[in-house]
Structures are given as C-alpha cells and as structure tokens.
A = this chain, B = another copy of it.
Amino acid sequence: MSIYIDERTRVCVQGITGRDGSFHTGAMIEYGTHVVSGVTPGKGGQTRGGVPVFNTVHEAVSETGANATIVFVPAKFAADAAIEAAESGVELVVVITEGVPTLDAMRLYQRTKQLGVRLLGPNCPGLISPGKAKLGIMPGAIHTRGKVGVVSRSGTLTYEVVDSLRRGGIGQSTVIGIGGDPIIGTTFIDTLEAFEKDEGTTAVVLIGEIGGTDEEQAAKFIKEHMSKPVVGFIAGRTAPPGRRMGHAGAIIAGGKGTAEDKIEALSDAGVPVADRPSEIPGLLRATLGR
C-alpha cells in the first residue's frame, strides 16, 4: 500500500514536449509509471515515446482517463496549467516547476482547495510509491518497496535519507517531497493523515527545515491524531535569522521558524528528532521495535 499514487494511477504529463517534461516522461515510464497522455498546447496529435499528446488537459483526461497530472510547464504558465488540470477532473496535480510567482501559487492553492483536488508543490521533487509509480524527478533506483512513509520539504536531503534507509534495509511505502516554497498545496499534516490511514505504512520519517511553522503544526497533529511512530529531522539549526537558505520558504523571520522551536515541538509530541541524518535508520528501528 501507499498514499496518493500507486499502480492504478494514470498520469498525464503537462509540458511533455519540453526539455524536462520529455526527459522525465521517459524516466517515469521506464520506472513503470502509467503515463497515459501528455499536454502541450499546439502540439496535440503528436506522440512522445508512444504517449499521445493533447492540446488541453480536458482532452487528455477524457481521451485517456488520466487521474493525476505532473506539471513541467515553465514558471510563467505553470499555475494556469495546474488550474486547468484541477478543473479537468483529475484527483492529483503535482507541480514540479520551480520559480512559480507566489501570487500565482496562492490562486492555484485556493482553486484546488475549492475543487477538492490534491495539489503537491509547486517547486517540489514529486512523489514515488516504490515499485508502483513515480510522479517526480527523483532517481527511482535508490528507492525500495517497504512500509516507511517519508515526507520532506527538501530534495537531495530526502534522497540522502532514502538512500540510508535502503542501505539499512528499510523500504518505503511512499516518499513525498512537499516542496520548499512558502505557499505549497500538500502539507506535512495532509501526508501524516494519509500515512496514518494507509495500511501499508507502519512508521513515518518527517524531514523538516527552518522557516514557517509547518513542523510545529505537524507536531500538534501527531500528538493529537497519530498512532504510528514518527521520526523527525530538522535542517537549519545553524542558519542565521533573516537570511534565506536557498528555498524561498527556508528563512527565520520575525523570530519564528527556528530549528529549536521545531525540535522542541516534535519532541513534545513524542517524536524522536535525529541530530544527524545517519541516526534516522537507527531511531526508526528503535521506534518500530517498541
């Protein structure tokens, strides 16, 4: 089992004819993902690796029964493309595109919320249910099928943790990168709720970073609603206030969003927080051994 995506997910790739879209379509299909269609306005009727391309998401959905889209459309048009997808009847919209203007992201978020469509991102690496489907840009080969859910605001840091889980013999149910922008669709709480309900997940790794209060809210949710063990990690303990650490969202502003606050909140919620990524597999084993 897994959350949000599995072997039944039917994927439409928006921006399939672009440089990233085409490349990652190839990689997703090779991984075994069910890519049924693509969209690039003006290029309808073409194919990419046997995948039919349509001019609109509506066509792609009605012709190929796609129930999820992944958006590689350039930042200028990404939010409109994702809104088009949300309005076409898909259940999940994953926006990989980096650099989406914040006001666009707000509009996009409000629209998906109104329609009850799950939005992941923007500016995220996507998600993977190992052995089933990959809607993202992560290297598939480091992932292994298993029962630990991973949710993260980061990209390569997640790969590092997943890689160390693999070496430690711990497989994953779903690994999900929620993205590093200030306005994102799916949050820690959403995924924790889904992992809690998922029969195929027995424990969760939560990888947070400085900025915002998402981890604090996650801690509250864990305390109140979660029965499954969660292990945490927070990046940015040494980050100075007021300086943006790469991600637009990774900034300690107004005295809020420090690593200390987050670690304290998680510890209060009974979540052991690793000091270093290398401690995560051990903490997980200890937690699962309870």
Q: Chain A interface (Cβ within 8 Å of chain B)?
A: 17, 19-20, 22-32, 46, 48-49, 139-141
Contact = CB atoms under 8 A, between A and B. Distances in A.
A238 to B, nearest CB: 28
The interface residues of chain A, by DSSP majority, are classed as helix
Contact of A23 (B31, B32, B48, B140): B48
A224 to B, nearest CB: 40
Nearest to A18: B22
Q: Which 7 A-B pairs have the closest CB atoms?
A: A26-B26, A26-B27, A27-B30, A22-B22, A23-B26, A30-B30, A23-B49
A260 B32 CA distance: 40
Contacts of A31: 30
A120 to B, nearest CB: 20
Contacts of A26: 22-28, 30
A246 B27 CA distance: 30
Contacts of A28: 26, 30
Nearest to A53: B19
A82 to B, nearest CB: 22
A19 B23 CA distance: 9
A175 B30 CA distance: 17
B30 A49 contact: no
A140 B30 CA distance: 7
Nearest to A17: B19
A23 B27 CA distance: 8
